[in-house]
């Protein structure tokens, strides 16, 4: 004798639940497929090209042989300088928008502008960088000009990610802190930022990935197809991985396939390595945060 | 003249006996009134209870005292709030004002930092850096909040991981850490078990000799147990202020007060 009988509706709900679950799982797997395929193809075809020699020597014979060292170093320079410019500006702007700005027309307009900035095509950013940094500020085609262009391009990512992680910190924490006589800045420093920092790092990780891979914006502003020496300062031009990949794939003839794939593989590994560092730092920080 | 206001507390200025004088306080949110024309006094070293159903403006009242309205969008405050005879709006340094007012919220907010840091937050904000001095403050405040014995072995644990009742006592310890002259409690027992509630109530009775306490509660019996005088708020209006015992014994000016206190409301 049972007290409860499953009705037809119960059975149907269960079937639908199962179907929906499987459907979502399939979509997730579908998402993973391209990533795995790209990595697999790169590793299989570009893997053989990888060597100490490849990473740490200059391109030879009109880039049909040799290594990628100047491009590798150049990309690290470009990403590093872009981060130095965009992270402080982006985080400060997000702090203002989230913690200080009154909710009025101006704030809303600024928020809209940031979202639109994220939608501007990279070639437009490139031309802006050319006009503003290369010509107007007379930085010339240099790492500085290219990095600043990249920084402006990726600012929205940093701002949006930072603002969202700031807003994920419960308002009650702020109120508790304010009621203790803390100023807004003291509250931010002691309560808000420590709990938002892992989210902010996520924004920076995203930015690193984008910055390292961008080609067009740096082509016009500071990256060159071939420079036989390493950059000595931010005012120098430089090679870059993304542009180098473009060059060896489309601009130069008789490049061995393994070299092309090798460049792509190193570019991806570079991004993965930077992400891994940030992610492990984030995991470390998140381990300390609980509420 | 407000009901229940005693002989010593007749004038706004110069009266040592008054901690707070509220005059014609009106609070609104974007034009919607939450509190209308409230005038009352809180005496030094008394527990002043405020009872009333939800939406009666009790929390808004507390917020306005510490000028916390500036953090709430579209909240407007009119009228006077005299703290030691001086309008809170005239305090140039609002942070110094807030440090003299301890606040305990309905839901315990253990900040996501260690127990120690929770209590040491306010002293640190006011510039105390010496470890020995901080240690002393933390222990004293945790003792006064009846929490010391339970947490003395794990001051490095996260405050947000304590139980609800412990967190609420932690917030009381935190509020005491700024050596407040005025302690505002907003339905502190809402998330606390009855035993802990009783312990906190005992703490409040002891604190009365040093601190003036405004106790907002939706438990009328709690007001009866603790408050020297009690105000009854109803839909944004201060219906009545009186000696707690007198009100509970039915000496009321407004029939609605006894109706609420006796639980036959509506």
Q: Which two tokens stand for residue A176?
A: 């508790």
Partners of residue B174 in chain A, C-beta under 8 Å: 176, 180
Region of B79 (left: φ > 0; alpha: ψ -120 to 50; beta: rest) is left
Among residues B191, B212, B203, which one has the least CA distance to residue B109? B191
Which pLDDT value is given to residue A24? 96
Alpha-carbon distances of A115 from A92, A112, A155, A209, B144, rounded to whole Å: 17, 5, 10, 19, 51
CB atoms within 10 A of CB A224: 18
C-alpha to C-alpha distance for B82 and B86, rounded to whole angstroms: 5
Q: Which two tokens stand for residue A287?
A: 């381990």
Which pLDDT value is given to residue B166? 87
Predicted-assembly ipTM surpassing the 0.85 threshold? no
Which pLDDT value is given to residue B70? 83
Distance from CA of B126 to the nearest CA of A (A): 8
Which pLDDT value is given to residue B241? 92
Domain spans of chain B, in order of start: 15-99+216-266
Q: Which two tokens stand for residue B229?
A: 């005088």
Assigned CATH for B15-99+216-266: 3.40.50.300
HSE (side-chain half, CA atoms, 13 Å) at A17: 6
Reading chain B (266 residues) residue by residue, the pLDDT tens digits are 344 333 344 444 445 678 889 999 999 998 888 999 999 999 998 999 999 888 888 888 998 998 888 888 788 899 989 988 888 888 888 888 898 999 888 887 778 888 999 999 989 988 888 999 999 999 999 998 888 988 888 888 888 888 888 888 899 899 999 889 999 999 888 878 888 888 889 888 988 888 999 999 888 889 999 999 999 999 888 999 999 989 988 888 888 888 888 887 75
Facing B109 at nearest CB: one of A172, A182, A183: A172
For chain A, which residues score pLDDT lower than 70? 1-3, 288-291
Chain A positions contacting chain B at CB under 8 Å are 103, 172-183, 186, 190-191, 194-195, 289-291
Q: Which residues contact A18 (CB under 8 A, 6 or more apart)?
A: none
Partners of residue A180 in chain B, C-beta under 8 Å: 98-99, 121-122, 125, 174-175, 177-178
Residue with tokens 């009119």: B78
Which pLDDT value is given to residue B215? 93
A85-141 pLDDT tens trace? 999 999 999 999 999 988 889 999 999 999 888 889 989 999 999 999 999 999 988
User: Is residue B105 within 8 angstroms of chain A, CB to CB?
Assistant: yes
Among residues B3, B2, B1, which one has the least CA distance to residue B246? B3
Which pLDDT value is given to residue B8? 40
Q: CATH class for domain A52-287?
A: mainly alpha
Question: Are A43 and A265 in contact, with CB atoms under 8 Å apart?
Answer: yes
Partners of residue B122 in chain A, C-beta under 8 Å: 180-182
Interface of B with A in 135-174 (CB under 8 A): 158, 160-161, 171, 174
- Mean pLDDT (chain A, rounded): 88
Alpha-carbon distances of B3 from B22, B51, B230, B235, rounded to whole Å: 13, 16, 11, 19
Partners of residue B97 in chain A, C-beta under 8 Å: 181
């Amino acid at each position: 004798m049972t007290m409860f009988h499953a009705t037809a509706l119960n059975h149907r709900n269960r079937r639908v639940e199962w179907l929906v679950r499987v459907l979502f799982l399939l979509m997730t797997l579908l998402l993973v497929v391209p990533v795995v395929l790209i990595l697999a193809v790169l590793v299989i075809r570009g893997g053989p090209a990888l060597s100490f020699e490849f990473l740490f020597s200059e391109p030879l014979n009109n880039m049909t042989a040799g290594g990628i060292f100047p491009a590798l170093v150049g990309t690290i320079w470009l990403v590093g300088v872009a981060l130095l410019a965009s992270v402080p500006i982006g985080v400060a702007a997000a702090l203002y928008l989230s913690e200080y700005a009154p909710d009025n027309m101006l704030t809303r307009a600024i928020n809209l502008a940031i979202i639109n900035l994220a939608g501007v095509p990279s070639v437009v950013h490139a031309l802006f960088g050319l006009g503003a940094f290369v010509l107007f500020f007379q930085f010339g085609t240099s790492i500085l000009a290219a990095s600043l262009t990249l920084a402006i391009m990726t600012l929205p990512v940093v701002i949006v990610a930072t603002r969202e992680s700031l807003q994920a910190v419960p308002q009650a924490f702020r109120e508790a802190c304010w009621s203790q006589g803390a100023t807004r800045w003291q509250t931010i420093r002691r309560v808000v930022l420590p709990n938002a920092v892992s989210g902010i790092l996520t924004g920076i990780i995203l930015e690193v990935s984008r910055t390292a891979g961008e080609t067009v914006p740096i082509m016009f502003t500071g990256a060159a197809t071939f420079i036989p020496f390493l950059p000595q300062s931010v005012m120098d031009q430089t090679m870059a991985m993304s542009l180098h990949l473009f060059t060896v794939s489309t601009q130069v003839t008789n490049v061995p396939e393994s070299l092309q794939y090798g460049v792509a593989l190193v570019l991806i590994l570079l991004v993965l390595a930077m992400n891994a560092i940030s992610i492990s730092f984030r995991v470390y920080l998140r381990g300390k945060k609980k509420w | 003249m407000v009901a229940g206001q005693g002989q010593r507390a007749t004038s706004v200025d110069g009266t040592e006996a008054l901690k707070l004088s509220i005059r014609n306080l009106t609070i609104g949110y974007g034009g919607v009134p939450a509190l209308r024309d409230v005038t009352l006094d809180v005496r030094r070293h008394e527990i002043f209870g405020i009872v009333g159903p939800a939406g009666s403006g009790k929390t808004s009242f507390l917020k306005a005292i510490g000028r916390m309205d500036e953090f709430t969008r579209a909240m407007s405050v009119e009228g006077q709030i005299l703290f030691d005879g001086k309008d809170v709006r005239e305090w140039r340094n609002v942070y110094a004002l807030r440090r003299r007012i301890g606040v305990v919220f309905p839901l315990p907010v253990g900040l996501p930092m260690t127990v120690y840091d929770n209590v040491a937050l306010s002293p640190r904000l006011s510039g105390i850096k010496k470890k020995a001095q901080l240690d002393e403050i933390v222990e004293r405040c945790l003792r006064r909040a009846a929490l010391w014995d339970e947490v003395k072995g794990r001051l490095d644990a996260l405050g947000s991981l304590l139980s609800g009742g412990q967190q609420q006592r932690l917030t009381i310890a935190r509020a005491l850490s700024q050596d407040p002259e005025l302690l505002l409690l907003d339905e502190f027992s809402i998330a606390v078990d009855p035993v802990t509630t009783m312990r906190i109530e005992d703490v409040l009775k002891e604190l009365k000799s040093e601190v003036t306490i405004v106790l907002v509660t939706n438990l009328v019996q709690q007001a009866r147990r603790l408050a020297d005088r009690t105000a009854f708020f109803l839909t944004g209006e201060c219906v009545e202020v009186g000696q707690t015992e007198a009100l509970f014994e039915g000496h009321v000016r407004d029939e609605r007060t006894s109706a609420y206190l006796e639980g036959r409301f509506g």
